[in-house]
């Protein structure tokens, strides 16, 4: 029986972030991210942003009563940026 090769850290980060994002917005995790969504996740990885900070931006937006929730990670880009800025300031 063949075993799956280990994922490189960037792929593991992006996959974990995508699965949690899909869970938050009630989207099937098997749905593939767009290349722009992947680039957003990869940029966060390269900047060493913890996944929980990215998800905080999404969760802050989900607090609104808008239904159904937008299912594109790009919709949450502004709140994610705000969460990153808040986190960065808290480190200072």
Report yes or no on 59 lying in a domain: yes
Q: Give the structural domain span for 40.
A: 9-91
Structure tokens given for 83: 């969460």
- The total number of structural domains that make up the chain: 1
- 31-77 pLDDT, tens digit per residue, is 888 999 999 999 999 999 999 999 999 998 888 766 677 889 999 99
Q: How far, in Å, CA of 5 to CA of 87, rounded?
A: 34
Q: Alpha carbon of 59 to those of 2, 7, 43: distances in Å? A: 38, 27, 20
Q: What angle do CA 4, 15, 17 make, to 5 degrees?
A: 150
Report yes or no on 4 lying in a domain: no
Report yes or no on 49 lying in a domain: yes
For the segment 84-91, the average pLDDT, to the nearest whole number, is 94
- DSSP, res 73: G
Global pTM value:
0.85
Report yes or no on 48 lying in a domain: yes
Report yes or no on 56 lying in a domain: yes
Report yes or no on 1 lying in a domain: no
**What SS3 state is found at 4?**
coil
């Amino acid at each position: 029986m063949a075993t799956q090769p280990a994922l490189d850290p960037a792929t593991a980060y992006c996959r974990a972030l995508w699965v949690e994002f899909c869970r938050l917005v009630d989207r099937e995790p098997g749905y593939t991210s767009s290349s722009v969504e992947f680039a957003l996740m990869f940029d966060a990885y390269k900047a060493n942003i913890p996944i929980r900070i990215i998800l905080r931006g999404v969760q802050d937006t989900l607090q609104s009563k808008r239904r159904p929730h937008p299912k594109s990670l790009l919709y949450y880009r502004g709140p994610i940026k705000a969460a990153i800025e808040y986190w960065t300031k808290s480190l200072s």
